[in-house]
Amino acid sequence: MGSTGSVSAWEEALLVAMIQYPVPVIKGPQDIQVQVDQICKALASTKAGYPDLDLIVFPEYSTQGLNTAIWTYDEMLLTLDSPEIAQFRKACADNKVWAVFSLMEKNEDPAKPPYNTAIIVNAEGEIALHYRKLQPWVPIEPWSPGNLGMPVCDGPKGSKLAVCICHDGMFPELAREAAYKGANVYIRISGYSTQVNDQWIWTNQSNAWQNLMYTISVNLAGYDGVFYYFGEGTVCNYDGNVIQQGHRNPWEIVTAELFPRLADKARENWALENNIFNLGCRAYVGKPGGETANYLTWVEDLARGEYKLPWDNKVKIRDGWKYYPDGVKLGPLPK
Show which residues are catalytic: 60, 133, 166
**How far is the C-alpha of 22 from the C-alpha of 56, rounded, in Å?**
16
- Of 102, 135, 96, nearest to 24 by C-alpha is 102
Please give the full DSSP string across 12-64, using - where no structure is assigned: T-EEEEEE-PBPP---STHHHHHHHHHHHHHHHHHHHHSTT--EEE--TTTTT
Cα first-last separation, the chain: 58
Assign residue 153 a region: left if phi > 0, alpha if psi is -120 to 50, beta otherwise? beta
Rounded-to-integer distance, Cα 150 and Cα 143, Å: 17
Distance CA 330, CA 55 (A): 35
Q: Tell me whether residue 328 is exposed, middle or buried, using C-beta atoms within 10 angstroms of its C-beta: 0 to 12, 13 to 18, 19 or more.
A: middle
